[in-house]
Amino acid sequence: MEQQSARFAICLNNQNCEDLVLCKIYQVLPDEMAEKNRYLRIIDESGDDYLYPANNFFVIELPHHVTQILLNQVQLTTV
């Protein structure tokens, strides 16, 4: 995934969501239909992407170099 399209969000509520850690930063994958229905497609602790209520997260904007570091870390953990 290109860093320009990469997005991240902080988990603010993990109630009833076993695969989310409170206050952790997660990668958000593009999913327009989900977002129209107030969900975000998140790569969770299982390493897979699932839909979670958008109000469980706060989407953050990060500087380019920070986004690149996070993307590199995601790639390292999925190898």
In a domain, 38, yes or no: yes
CATH number, residue 49: 2.30.30
* Cα–Cα distance measured from residue 51 to residue 35, given in angstroms and rounded to the nearest whole number: 9
pTM for the full predicted model: 0.83
In a domain, 24, yes or no: yes
| Residue numbers of the domain that contains 42 | 7-78
In a domain, 2, yes or no: no
In a domain, 72, yes or no: yes
- Tokens standing for residue 58: 């706060």
Torsion of CA 26, 28, 34, 39, to 10 degrees: 30
* Cα–Cα distance measured from residue 67 to residue 52, given in angstroms and rounded to the nearest whole number: 22
- Tokens standing for residue 32: 């327009």
- Domain count within the chain: 1
In a domain, 1, yes or no: no
- Tokens standing for residue 75: 């790639």
> What digits encode the pLDDT tens for the residues 4-46?
478 999 999 999 988 999 999 999 999 999 999 999 999 999 9
In a domain, 11, yes or no: yes
